[in-house]
Amino acid sequence: MRILLVGKGGQVGRELQAPLAALGDLVALDRTTADLERPDDLAAVVRRERPDVIVNAAAYTAVDKAESEPDRARLVNATAVAALARAAADRGATLVHYSTDYVFDGTKAGRYVETDDPCPLSVYGRTKLEGEAAAAASGCRHWIFRTTWVYAPHGQNFVRTMLRLGRERDELRVVDDQFGVPTSARLIAAITADCIGRLAAGAPPPAGIYHLAPHGETTWCRFARTILAAARERRAFLRCQPENVVGIATADYPLPARRPANSRLDTTKLETALNIRLPEWQDDVLPVVAALAAESSS
Ligand SMILES: NC(=O)c1ccc[n+]([C@@H]2O[C@H](COP(=O)([O-])OP(=O)(O)OC[C@H]3O[C@@H](n4cnc5c(N)ncnc54)[C@H](OP(=O)(O)O)[C@@H]3O)[C@@H](O)[C@H]2O)c1
């Protein structure tokens, strides 16, 4: 099986490389060889690499910057996805693509299921939703994993930011009225590889959109306390203790892009399709905090 990975250097892209390489011939590209801001070039990349599966881990993920760069965000998150999906359809290849809880407005009382009406609040959310629609319209076999609050031991993410700020400051003020589920890039990569492995074995899960996140829920503030508590247990140097993380309201931390207050995703569809049980989010995050804390232990 030939697998083409686009966006190999991102949080999810990096975690995908080892499990995908174990499944077949992996060609992993970054923006120097597959630039999603040049969608017209992507069909030639796909023709050259002749993949059976295209995994698109690239995206315009600068949620706030997207408010002032909507055309660039749309080019990467929607136009390029349409081009990859068309190229996949032309070859009879499968497309794996990732989307976001930000396609929802967060006003639902419970967890979002795949069939809930999207209503994005931001340019990023709107362009990601357009990307989903483009993949579906292309007619290629596709899996779209909508995920949320992604972190990894590398890249730009909340876990690394909290550990850095926890070393620098005595107190942290963190939003406590947005609810969601932190998701490791490693979990996303493992589920992706599982699905592609089943495809290779002739028993792929049905095409379509799946919500992908661990079980449980938290707020950014409680997530920050969990990260610092786990780091403290591992003797990482910290100026800010978990008790000194102060909850604030979203309104007290204004940002250019609006975020949904409820990002909780129901993952029953994915767990049923794969006959698996996803982990609790705390179990998912601990290995990452442990690895990062070891780098800064006193
Ligand atoms: N991060 C989250 O909290 C979150 C939440 C929900 C859903 N998601 C979705 O999950 C997927 C993976 O996200 P992530 O967290 O791994 O993102 P990430 O760490 O920000 O990585 C994004 C990757 O996309 C690449 N990229 C950006 N513009 C590109 C272009 N024009 N051409 C080629 N590559 C380009 C980046 O390359 P450079 O390094 O060269 O810029 C980077 O490697 C995305 O679809 C994202 O929308 C993420």
Average pLDDT over residues 170-175: 97
37: left (phi over 0), alpha (psi -120 to 50) or beta: alpha
277 pLDDT above the threshold of 80: yes
Secondary-structure percent of the chain, ordered helix, strand, coil, rounded to 5 = 45, 20, 35
- pLDDT on residue 22: 98
Copy the structure tokens of residue 179. 């609810």
Any domain includes 124: yes
121 pLDDT above the threshold of 70: yes
CB contact at 8 A, 52 and 4: no
Rounded distance from Cα 113 to ligand 1 centre (Å): 23
Any domain includes 196: yes
CB contact at 8 A, 249 and 176: yes
Any domain includes 259: no
CB contact at 8 A, 253 and 219: no
Give the range of the structural domain holding residue 83, as residue numbers without chain letter: 2-157+182-215+264-284
- pLDDT on residue 297: 63
Centroid of chain to Cα 85: 19
- Which of 54, 150, 158, 284 maximizes ligand 1 atoms within 8 Å of its Cβ, making it the mutation to test the pocket? 150
Average pLDDT over residues 191-212: 98
Residue identifier of the C-alpha nearest atom 40 of ligand 1: 31
Distance CA 286, CA 296 (A): 15
Atom of ligand 1 nearest to the CA of 102: 6
CB contact at 8 A, 54 and 27: no
E-state strands within 12-124: 25-29, 53-56, 94-100
Distance CA 200, CA 270 (A): 18
**pTM of the complete model:** 0.97
Say which residue the tokens 């809880």 belong to. Answer: 101
Any domain includes 108: yes
Amino acid identity of residue 101, one-letter, is D
Mean pLDDT of the chain: 96
Which residues line ligand 1 at a C-beta cut-off of 6 Å? 7, 9-13, 30-31, 34-37, 57-61, 76, 98, 100, 128, 147-150, 155, 185
Distance CA 143, CA 221 (A): 32
Closest by CA to 124, choosing from 138, 104, 96, is 104
Distance CA 222, CA 237 (A): 20
Rounded distance from Cα 150 to ligand 1 centre (Å): 10
Catalytic choice (60, 124, 151, 210): 124
Residue 210 annotated to the active site: no
Residue identifier of the C-alpha nearest atom 24 of ligand 1: 58
Q: Summarize pLDDT for 49-107 with one digit per residue, the tens.
A: 999 999 999 999 999 999 999 999 999 999 999 999 999 999 999 999 999 999 999 99
Any domain includes 75: yes
**Buried/exposed 38-71: b ≥16 CB within 10 Å, e otherwise:** ebeebeebbeebebbbbbbbbbbbebeebbeeee
Centroid of chain to Cα 277: 19
Any domain includes 50: yes
Any domain includes 126: yes
SS3 (DSSP) at 249: coil
Domain count, the chain: 1
Per cent of the chain over pLDDT 90 is: 97
- pLDDT on residue 219: 98
Copy the structure tokens of residue 76. 């990467």
- pLDDT on residue 295: 80
Closest by CA to 271, choosing from 140, 130, 119, 145, is 145
- pLDDT on residue 294: 82
Q: Summarize pLDDT for 228-275 with one digit per residue, the tens.
A: 999 999 999 999 999 999 999 999 998 999 999 999 999 999 999 999
- pLDDT on residue 204: 97
- pLDDT on residue 293: 87
> Which CATH number is 135's domain given?
3.40.50.720
Rounded distance from Cα 93 to ligand 1 centre (Å): 22
User: Of how many residues is the chain composed?
Assistant: 298
Helices (H), 139-218: 158-168, 185-200
Any domain includes 105: yes
* Strands across the sheet containing 25-29: 25-29, 2-6, 53-56, 94-100, 141-147, 208-211
298 pLDDT above the threshold of 90: no
- pLDDT on residue 241: 96
Q: Summarize pLDDT for 127-141 with one digit per residue, the tens.
A: 999 999 999 999 999
Copy the structure tokens of residue 110. 């419970």
